[in-house]
A and B are shown apart, each in its own frame.
Chain A
Amino acid sequence: MLGSSALSSKISKAHRIDNYTGLPAISGEELAARLKAHLDEVGAEITDKQVGAVYAMGDYFALQCGEEMLEASSVIVATGVVQAKALEGEDRFLGRGVSYCATCDARLYKGKTVAVLGYSADSAEEALFLSEVVDSVLYFPMNDKLPEERENLRVIREKPLEMIGENNVTSLKTDSGEYEVSCVFVLRDAVMPEKLIPGVETDGAHIKVDINMKTNINGLFACGDVAGKPYQYIKAAGQGNIAALSAIGYLNEIKKEV
């Protein structure tokens, strides 16, 4: 189990939950404590790691956690739902002037001007890295962290609205101007499911699942908010139960094949 040993902050913040069967009118904090106690009771450990990407390799999955690569036979995705809304043109130009990874794609923009939309905590650092590779960086801060000063890095406090271009991005439009750039690096903390798991079929912010919590990728299951509405704990718990049984079924099936 990969994630945060402090569980989701969402649950502790819930004032009162009225429809969790058997635990009427329980506070979010108490429900979180009960869930934690349940985990301890069955000896389920949480490993504090953030998964950057899940690669479906065919007969196994590779989970990238920072520099580390973990392997699994089956994966259950229970990330909750990401509320970030894509900018106009973001999806259309992905891979053609929209990038989510500065370290991955920086070198493709050697000698060019790029924009960085800095939503995540480490965006400022990523922007510095970019400034060493590309010709110049236009930095749009979306939080209060700013990169150190560099001659080829300009901080612009405007609200990005749209990526513009024909085949590739040629400029970024803001609420008060337009800037010619070859690429817009959108650096967010929360990763949309199709970016977390390349190739997974989604419907907006949700992963598409069938009634057994199966996704379009063999051996990959999803449950809870990421699998769709309603966003309720009781529904998430039920889907978790189904996903776990489906994953066990899948593991038994592949064992037989070997």
Chain B
Amino acid sequence: MIKEIKNNDFNAVENAKTAIVDFNATWCGPCRMLAPILEELSEEYSDIGFYACDVDNNMELAVKYGIQSIPAVGVFKDGKLVNMSVGFRPKEAMKALIESAK
């Protein structure tokens, strides 16, 4: 399951050991294609927190993490951004990104 970030509230991510955050927007085509892949992966990696962050509704976070192109998937360890994958990536590549974070 992917939880939605609202009102720039990043508490859950900051307190998680490992979290995957998908910075996206409703008007972005590649984001819509990436979303179901992340949904599947969130089922496969149920021990990791998956979050979706709509950049229009969470502008502060988008600025804070320097989001310049979406989709952008950030890997957070203990609240710190350790890796970022920009653009649509195939499922296998997303899987590798998550594996590297474990």
B91 touches A57 (CB 8 A): yes
Cβ–Cβ < 8 Å partners of A218 in chain B: 92
Q: Residue-by-residue, is B67-83 near A (CB-CB < 8 Å gives 1, otherwise 0)? A: 11110100000000000
Q: Residue-by-residue, is B42-80 near A (CB-CB < 8 Å gives 1, otherwise 0)? A: 000000000000011000001000111110100000000
Q: Quick one: which of A48-89 are within 8 Å of B by CB?
A: 53, 55-58, 62, 64
Q: Residue-by-residue, is A189-226 near B (CB-CB < 8 Å gives 1, otherwise 0)? A: 00000000011000000000000000001100000000
B40 touches A168 (CB 8 A): no
B25 at the interface (CB under 8 A from A): yes
A108 touches B62 (CB 8 A): yes
A235 at the interface (CB under 8 A from B): no
B2 at the interface (CB under 8 A from A): no
With the chains together, A69 CA to B91 CA distance in Å? 18
A104 at the interface (CB under 8 A from B): yes
Query: Which of A26-34, A92-100, A143-151 lies at the interface?
Result: A92-100
Cβ–Cβ < 8 Å partners of A183 in chain B: 68
With the chains together, A167 CA to B29 CA distance in Å? 26
With the chains together, A27 CA to B62 CA distance in Å? 57
With the chains together, A129 CA to B29 CA distance in Å? 17
Cβ–Cβ < 8 Å partners of B90 in chain A: 55-58, 198-199, 217
